Amino acid sequence: MTTTNSKSGPPSHIASILRTISMNLNVNESCERLIADLEAASQLHKRGKAYKTLCQITNCDRTVVSWKFNEWDYGKSSIQLPVNARGLFILEDAKPPRIAARGYDKFFNVGEVPFTSWDWLSANTVGPYDVTVKENGCIIFVSGLEDGTLLICSKHSTGARDDTDRNHSIAGEKFLAKQLQEHNIDSRALGLELYDMNATVVAEYCDDTFEEHILEYSEDAAGLYVHGININSRKFETLPISDVTTFADKYGFKKVNYFTKHDIYSLRKFLEQSALVGSYENKEIEGFVIRTRLQDGSPFFFKFKFEEPYLMYRQWREATKRYIETKSRVFSFKKHRFITNKYLDFVIPLLDADEQLRDDYMKDLAIIRLRKLFLLDYGLSGLEILNSEKIKELERENAIDYNTVDSNTKFMFFPIATIGCGKTTTALTLQNLYPTQWGHVQNDDISGRDKAMLMKKSLDILAQDGVKAVIVDRNNHQFRERKQLFEWFAELKEKYMPYDCNVKIIALSFLPYEDVEETSKLTITRVLARGDRHQSIKAEKDGEKKVLGIMRGFINRYQPLDVNKEPDNLFDYVVTLRVLERDSSRSNVQTILHALKAKYPILVPEMPSQERITSAFEKSLQYEPTITKIIGGGNKSDTKGKKLKPIYFSAEIMDRRSFLQVIRDTSSQISTVGSSPISEAEEAGRVLRNLHITLCHWASCKKGTKGEKDIWCEFNKRYIKLLKQTSSHSEESPKHLKTKDKVKFRLTRLLWDDKIITATVNLLDDGIIDGDTGDAIPRLACTNEFPHVTLALLKSEVNPFYSNTLCKYMNEHHGLLQGTFEDGTGCLELKHGPEMTADICINL
């Protein structure tokens, strides 16, 4: 084997660049200070915290320490990290200490952060702008030790690992060995030259036989694409891309395509025109990385990612993995719903028939093969699909034949009424007739500020197997209320139900215009006669005068159904009812059933007997509300208000179903760490009904630091008015108060052992958000070291507080790194999850 002459060192122009950089850097001194700063950051509780992992170098008895930070800590002006490198390895035993491998400083997409806006870039960067094609693989770092040993790392690890069956650094090392052998180069030559340069090669490993991403790499195209050479220093310094390609040629690496734009205006024009077609030189790519410098000469990188066709292909991948895991086609993608479902129509039979195909797909293999098979069958390329006017129109129609009514069709009923029309009695009678097939959700039974909860609960019931219809029990006496229901339905439907499940929405018009005056007299009589048997209208307690005021307010605001204008023209069918006759609810049930049998026999194939209807009606008359809903001011002299004392403040997950779906969605890579614990917990009924982030607890703060005690006081000061108002208006002390304020968060990790499953979260926007202004509320924060949501208790004797213990244990023993461990614990990073919102609540 021929050996490259390592003593010759790097080419003269590169050596000149390295000498210039070295004049400005005291590498050893800088590294000592860096380690001290990293160690200090490792003691932080959350923001800016550093994490370190000890790694054994392959084929060598030496070790390196890998340092990393939370992804969301980069780029925040309020957080000063010791170093902004994504990927940093320091030799543990070197004297003086030495950085062994270094990645780029974290860089961002155009518009992702304030300092990548076009205005900022125009004002703060100088040309030329080197534009490199963004390859679609995994990062591999290559550097050398003093004896020529090669150090090959993935972004945060090197050497053997027990927590995964797919080791990126080992795969990269094997490919590099093959590459050097093919070019007849001794690996020590590469290692010694990189050591002499004090540099790290940064490459993208693209190899579909090892791991498929989104874009395809044929066998000839597979390889290590070198796109950077960084100096191993604390301050980010990197060689020009022209020198990087020269180095790549010398050692047989693949090169990234690059070109230069000399001013920001021509650069922006080129990038935005390329984004319109989603390709470069007739090849689908992910986007570009732009390398330039700031006014002070410091290197500065940013990226410009194409939305398409990358987004569409990624959706197909995610939808496929979700189907393999759950057998569900429910998804909440806002774009490409038609073509994604056409794709699923094609691939699901293939997946169902081939277990090996399913296994390969979950290991990130066969992704591209399935996509190509679909495109071949469909007869269009990805870019042709994106540019097809016909498909754009089909996307707008959402790919559902709304005229079809079959066994998959479901039904939703919106009453249009005022108080006392008998809508609840009618709804209860229908549910009594079909207890397993019809659902009923009463607006008066819903507390809290989330008005959309009425629709969320209705869709949650309608989505259940065997349920055919649900009655959304609210007066809906104005056009705006009916419009609101239709808007909620359009927004939420696909979060609960399959895309191809057609839902017919039917109006139950209890009060036609011509009956308003006469009916109002009857309904007032009925409400007064029933006394306190209603969630919010308490005739006996509140008195006739107040009840008459409420009733007349509803009647004065009443807007009868008008199918000639929006939103009433959106109803699929209208059943007109009457409330003037005796036992009108019973007769209205018969009217509804006769109408449905004629229009939708799939829902009511035959009429129930008179005896069944009578029995169901009489049972509905026995209904007693269990919830009291406060409306209006009330009579303060009747209350027994007492001081309310908070036990803890929390951020409540109001939409439990959607939250758990996000857990499943963002856990699509679960196969790398074993079977999903959350799915097993759900099957065992161990997932908690109420999910929340504990922000501040009385018991913890009483024993806590001065800062924690101060935060407890600030929470109490913030909500003192609400506590006083509730105390003066409530006869009984409530257990739970919802405020207007919010917390925005993202899931970060799923942690578990044999006792509990919990999800750690990152609170966004620097804490708690004012519900009225949207601004961060100063001095309010989460006092937990690891903010989290307890998901499931796997043993009955376990307390939810144990989540804190598990979080601390996983941090101390495993650095919160992904994997399943011999002690029975597990950690899964929940990457790329959506931003979510929780409501601040006071628990009493």
Looking at the chain, the whole-number percentage of residues with pLDDT higher than 70 is 84
The residue among 770 and 370 whose pLDDT is bigger is 370
Helix (H) or strand (E) run with residue 133 in it: strand 125-133
Maximum alpha-carbon separation in the chain: 105
Put residue 2 in one of left, alpha, beta given phi > 0 → left and psi -120 to 50 → alpha.
beta
Two tokens, residue 255: 């090169």
Across 638-734, the runs of DSSP E, i.e. the strands, are 648-652, 692-697
CATH 3.30.470.30 fits 9-112+136-255, yes or no: yes
Residue 551 has what pLDDT? 57
Residue 540 has what pLDDT? 44
Cα of 671 vs its chain's centroid, Å: 19
Cα of 378 vs its chain's centroid, Å: 31
Taking the domains of the chain in order of start, what are their residue ranges? 9-112+136-255, 113-135+256-304, 310-397, 410-621, 643-843
Phi, psi for residue 225 in degrees, rounded to 5: -90, 110
Grade residue 532 by pLDDT with cuts at 50, 70 and 90: very low
Instruction: Give, in order, the Cα–Cα distances in Å from 96 to each of 23, 67, 485, 645, 701.
Output: 19, 18, 68, 58, 44
d(Cα 398, Cα 338) in Å, to the nearest integer? 6
d(Cα 161, Cα 142) in Å, to the nearest integer? 18
The residue among 633 and 684 whose pLDDT is bigger is 684
d(Cα 608, Cα 676) in Å, to the nearest integer? 46
Helix (H) or strand (E) run with residue 595 in it: helix 584-599
Residue 531 has what pLDDT? 42
pLDDT > 60? residue 641: no
Q: Is the dihedral of CA 59, 64, 70, 75 positive or negative?
A: negative
Map 84-107 to HEC letters. Answer: CECCEEEECCCCCCCEEEECCECC
pLDDT > 50? residue 542: no
Summarised one tens digit per residue, pLDDT across range 96-116 is 889 999 999 999 999 888 899
d(Cα 824, Cα 806) in Å, to the nearest integer? 12
d(Cα 21, Cα 230) in Å, to the nearest integer? 11
Hey, which of 310-314, 481-485, 593-597 has the most confident mean pLDDT?
593-597
Grade residue 737 by pLDDT with cuts at 50, 70 and 90: confident
Q: Which amino acid is at 581?
A: E
201 within 8 A of 20, measured Cβ to Cβ? no
Grade residue 363 by pLDDT with cuts at 50, 70 and 90: confident
Residues paired with residue 438 on neighbouring β-strands, in sequence order:
469
- In the set 49, 68, 106, 134, the catalytic residue is 134
d(Cα 202, Cα 768) in Å, to the nearest integer? 39
The residue among 136 and 512 whose pLDDT is bigger is 136
Q: How many residues does the chain have?
A: 844
Phi, psi for residue 358 in degrees, rounded to 5: -65, -45
Q: Calculate Rg over the CA atoms of the chain.
A: 32
For residue 590, what are the contacts with CB-CB under 8 A and spacing of at least 6? 613
Q: Is the dihedral of CA 506, 510, 515, 520 positive or negative?
A: negative
Residue 535 has what pLDDT? 40
For residue 178, what are the contacts with CB-CB under 8 A and spacing of at least 6? none
Summarised one tens digit per residue, pLDDT across range 669-702 is 444 444 567 777 777 778 887 899 999 888 766 6
The residue among 517 and 724 whose pLDDT is bigger is 724
207 within 8 A of 222, measured Cβ to Cβ? yes
Nearest one of 129, 167, 133 to 254, comparing CA atoms: 133
d(Cα 190, Cα 405) in Å, to the nearest integer? 69
Residue 325 has what pLDDT? 83
pLDDT > 90? residue 90: yes
Average pLDDT over residues 804-824: 85
The residue among 579 and 15 whose pLDDT is bigger is 579
Phi, psi for residue 698 in degrees, rounded to 5: -55, -45
Pairing of the two strands 287-294 and 125-133: antiparallel
Q: Give CATH for domain 410-621.
A: 3.40.50.300
The residue among 832 and 194 whose pLDDT is bigger is 194
Two tokens, residue 455: 């629709």
The residue among 583 and 132 whose pLDDT is bigger is 132
Grade residue 534 by pLDDT with cuts at 50, 70 and 90: very low
Summarised one tens digit per residue, pLDDT across range 460-485 is 899 888 999 999 999 898 888 998 89
Question: Prior bond to 114 cis, omega within 30?
Answer: no
Summarised one tens digit per residue, pLDDT across range 228-245 is 999 999 999 999 999 999
- In this structure, how many other beta carbons lie within 10 angstroms of the beta carbon of residue 736? 13
Two tokens, residue 167: 């080791």
* CATH class of the domain defined by 643-843: alpha beta
Task: Specify the range with the lowest mean pLDDT, choosing from 432-441, 616-625, 783-792.
Answer: 616-625
The overall average pLDDT reported for the chain is: 83
Looking at the chain, the whole-number percentage of residues with pLDDT higher than 90 is 37
Summarised one tens digit per residue, pLDDT across range 742-775 is 998 888 889 988 889 999 998 887 678 888 887 8
Hey, which of 163-172, 293-302, 665-674 has the most confident mean pLDDT?
293-302
Residue 29 has what pLDDT? 53
Q: Is the dihedral of CA 821, 827, 828, 831 positive or negative?
A: negative
Phi, psi for residue 823 in degrees, rounded to 5: -80, 5
d(Cα 431, Cα 469) in Å, to the nearest integer? 9
d(Cα 486, Cα 378) in Å, to the nearest integer? 34
Q: Which amino acid is at 755?
A: K
Nearest one of 97, 103, 92 to 68, comparing CA atoms: 103
The structure's pTM equals: 0.54
Burial of 697 (0-12, 13-18, 19+ CB in 10 A): buried
Hey, which of 9-13, 49-53, 164-168, 211-215 has the most confident mean pLDDT?
49-53
Grade residue 785 by pLDDT with cuts at 50, 70 and 90: confident
Instruction: Give, in order, the Cα–Cα distances in Å from 715 to each of 227, 482, 696, 778.
Output: 50, 38, 8, 11
Residue 656 has what pLDDT? 82
Residue 397 has what pLDDT? 66
819 within 8 A of 827, measured Cβ to Cβ? yes
d(Cα 272, Cα 263) in Å, to the nearest integer? 15
Contacts 24+ apart (CB under 8 A), 757-760: 757/677, 757/678, 757/681, 757/790, 757/791, 757/792, 757/794, 758/788, 758/789, 758/790, 758/791, 758/803, 758/806, 758/807, 759/663, 759/788, 759/789, 759/791, 759/830, 760/786, 760/787, 760/788, 760/807, 760/816
Q: What is the DSSP letter of 536?
A: S
The residue among 217 and 433 whose pLDDT is bigger is 433
838 within 8 A of 745, measured Cβ to Cβ? yes
The residue among 732 and 112 whose pLDDT is bigger is 112
pLDDT > 60? residue 630: no
pLDDT > 90? residue 377: yes
d(Cα 419, Cα 425) in Å, to the nearest integer? 12
Map 765-779 to HEC letters. Answer: EEEEECCCCCCECCC
Nearest one of 627, 628, 632 to 546, comparing CA atoms: 632
Residue 814 has what pLDDT? 83
Nearest one of 755, 740, 754, 836 to 797, comparing CA atoms: 755
Residue 698 has what pLDDT? 81
Kindly compute the dihedral angle of the four CA atoms of residues 150, 155, 157, 161, in this order, to the nearest 10 degrees: -110
Residues 561, 565, 567: CA angle, nearest 5 degrees = 75
Residue 372 appears among annotated catalytic residues: no
d(Cα 114, Cα 477) in Å, to the nearest integer? 46
Summarised one tens digit per residue, pLDDT across range 492-520 is 887 788 777 889 999 999 876 445 555 55
Residue 16 has what pLDDT? 53
Q: Coil, strand or helix: which one is 440? A: strand
pLDDT > 70? residue 538: no
Average pLDDT over residues 718-728: 80
Residue 1 has what pLDDT? 40
d(Cα 107, Cα 126) in Å, to the nearest integer? 17
Please give the full DSSP string across 138-176, using - where no structure is assigned: EEEEEEE-TTS-EEEE-SS--S--SS-S--HHHHHHHHH
Q: What is the DSSP letter of 364?
A: T
d(Cα 631, Cα 628) in Å, to the nearest integer? 10
Summarised one tens digit per residue, pLDDT across range 411-428 is 999 999 877 778 888 999
Residue 631 has what pLDDT? 45
Burial of 723 (0-12, 13-18, 19+ CB in 10 A): middle
